[in-house]
Amino acid sequence: MNIQGLYFNLAKQQNLRQPEEVESKLEDKDMNTLMITDQPNDISIDDSYDLLVNDDKNKIETKEKKENTMLAILRMNKPEWILIAIGCITASIIGARDPVYCIIQTKLATVFQQCDKNVQKRKVLFYVLLYVGFGVISLVLHSVQGYVFARSGEALTKRLRSKAFQAILHQDMTFFDREENSTGALCTRLATEASAVQGASGVRFGLIFQYLFAIVAGILLGFAYSWQLTLLKLKLLLSFIFRSLKQCSQ
């Protein structure tokens, strides 16, 4: 700067241009303000109606897009569909296990009505071994279900983090100048948000299949033993379902 060479001349020209740019921006801003104020404020009823209709359509489209989030997650988890299918099958077997447990429990209670002690011991031993067998099967099924859902969720998390990292790399420089997009905040989002989606696909479908098959198995066994009592229980079940749906809609 002391020599007053090329860099001095460039800095001097830049300082001279800044006031001119500020004045031109102010003039453009004043001109836009005058143009806006000069426009007539004569929006008709039809125009207002069209605006409301378009607003409602945008809200409906936004709602539909939100409802398809689950399908988008399933598409991203499509390479692991075999693991998810195995997990859903094991969840279905686990769900059908509970009604069978109830039957075994009632059978075990009726054993003590036998007068012969030897018959009681033999049947009690049989049902105890049956309980142990069901416990071992349940342990294996729960282990398989947890493993396959963990594998599919891990692959989904890795895929989501990779896509999120690629999206961050393609952002403009102004994106990283914001306080909410600091290095620590972005690392936290990569660590937490992707893993939060992990339980939205496989595990949730596993729970759905588990509860669904538990209800189906209970209804079938109920019809096999007493169809009158089962119909009464179904009536109560449907009333609970309708009340829950009504409460959720409110």
Q: What is the pLDDT of residue 72?
A: 76
CA dist 230 and 94 (Å) reads 22
Mean pLDDT by 10 residues, the chain (250 residues): 52 53 50 45 47 54 57 78 88 87 84 80 87 90 89 83 84 81 81 69 78 88 85 83 79
* Structural class in CATH, domain 77-242: mainly alpha
CA dist 72 and 231 (Å) reads 39
CA dist 127 and 132 (Å) reads 9
Q: What is the pLDDT of residue 202?
A: 67
Q: What is the pLDDT of residue 140?
A: 93
Q: What is the pLDDT of residue 143?
A: 92
Q: Taking the complete model, does pTM exceed 0.95, yes or no? A: no
